Amino acid sequence: MVREVSVGLSTPPRSIPPKYFYDAAGSRLFDAICELPEYYLTRSERGLLEQYADRIIGRTGVRSLVELGSGMARKTGPLARALCDRFPAPVYVPFDIAPEAIDASARSLLAAHPTLRVCGVVGDFARDLGRLGAHAATLDGPRLFAFLGSTIGNFDDRAAPALLRSIAQMMTEGDRFLLGMDLVKDVRVLHAAYNDAQGVTAAFNKNVLRVLARELDGDIDDRSFEHLAFYDEALQRIEMHLVSMRAQTMTLRAADVRIELATGERIMTEISRKFTRSTADEMLSRGDMRMVEWIPGDSGMFALCVARRA
């Protein structure tokens, strides 16, 4: 954290890795975001999974589920149910940076599916995929690796294929990869999803400043920052920033960071790329995977994609 935050804040354009949103408070705020009327992503993906999970599990023949960036596993239920309907004690491996989220989601899923076995792995994509791979290797195959919530959109054009290649290296010929992707759509719909009327997304964005202050012994006045989110049509992505509303000094003693921010200066906290079938296919190809099935929603809001190792 010291290294990543120090580099991100000291190197223009300034940034904070989005994984640090998700302390206990950040996870609760994101859970609230997923229920907002403007935030269509979770509902759209959940609807697709409810409609197609049984078909996906049946066609792929997988016997276990490995979910990357599982969070609160809001959309995992249909996949867990389809597995439990076919096998006596299927295994679910959630992988996430927030242990509280893994614990809460495991309790919820086990209450609904008592025959499910859950083995959580705490870690982040940058350092701990090897540990996840070691857990996945103990499972009876074939396995379904799932990356839902359009989290792949948080990785830029270079990082996303690199992550997919790392996942592909864990997969065997019989394994399958399930990817959830938000699609390019009306800019007004995208803007509303990241600028909700209740200000929950703004609170979620600012919470990362509290995380840094707490974890890195910092002096940060989060009231002096404003939430900014907009869609960049050329890059086909939402960008989220924190904007300094006055000239101020940000100090993080544990990271040896002391930076001067000008009025209006931005710190990028997240990107969220939006896809078409062609850009999804290109990303998978660069990530050493091959698309097997494309499952778009009727509304054109969201899509699921099933892929295999190339």
Residue ranges making up the domain that contains 200: 2-26+187-273
**Other beta carbons less than 10 A from residue 136's beta carbon:** 24
Q: Is residue 35 part of a domain?
A: no
Q: Is 278 exposed, middle or buried (0-12, 13-18, 19+ CB in 10 A)?
A: exposed
What pLDDT score was predicted for residue 222?
Answer: 92
pLDDT tens for 3-48 read 999 999 998 899 999 989 988 899 899 989 999 999 999 999 999 9
Q: Check residue 151 and give its pLDDT.
A: 93
Q: Are residues 216 and 300 in the same domain?
A: no
Q: Within a domain: residue 129?
A: yes
Whether 269 and 299 map to the same domain: the answer is no
Asked if residue 297 is part of any domain, the answer here is yes
pLDDT digits (tens, 9 = 90+) for 271-302: 999 999 999 999 999 999 999 999 998 788 99
Shared domain for 265 and 282, answered yes or no, is no
**Residue 19 located in a structural domain:** yes
Claim to verify: residue 49 and residue 105 sit in the same structural domain: yes
Q: Which positions of the chain have pLDDT values less than 50? A: none
Q: Is 214 within the bounds of a domain?
A: yes
Q: Which of 165, 167, 175, 189 is nearest to 302 (CA)?
A: 189
CATH number at residue 84: 3.40.50.150
From residue 222, alpha-carbon distances to 115, 210, 243, 253, 265 in Å are 45, 7, 10, 17, 14
80 and 203 part of one domain: no
Q: Does the residue 80 lie in any domain?
A: yes
Cα–Cα distance for residue pair 179/86, rounded to 1 Å? 22
Nearest-CA neighbor of 87 among 68, 71, 65, 120?
65
Instruction: Report helix, strand or coil for 104.
Output: helix
pTM of the model: 0.92
Cα separation, 124 vs 53, in Å, equals 26
- The single residue listed with the structure tokens 């924190």 is 242
Do 158 and 304 fall within a single domain? yes
* 22 and 124 inside one domain: no
CA 43 to centroid of chain Cα atoms: 15
192 lies in the same domain as 172: no
Residues 131 and 63 placed together within one structural domain of the fold: yes
Please report whether residue 199 resides in a domain: yes
Residue 33 lies in a domain: no
The total of structural domains in the chain comes to 2
* Beta-bridge partner residues of 289: 309
- In this structure, are residues 23 and 98 in contact, taking their beta carbons and an 8 Å threshold? yes
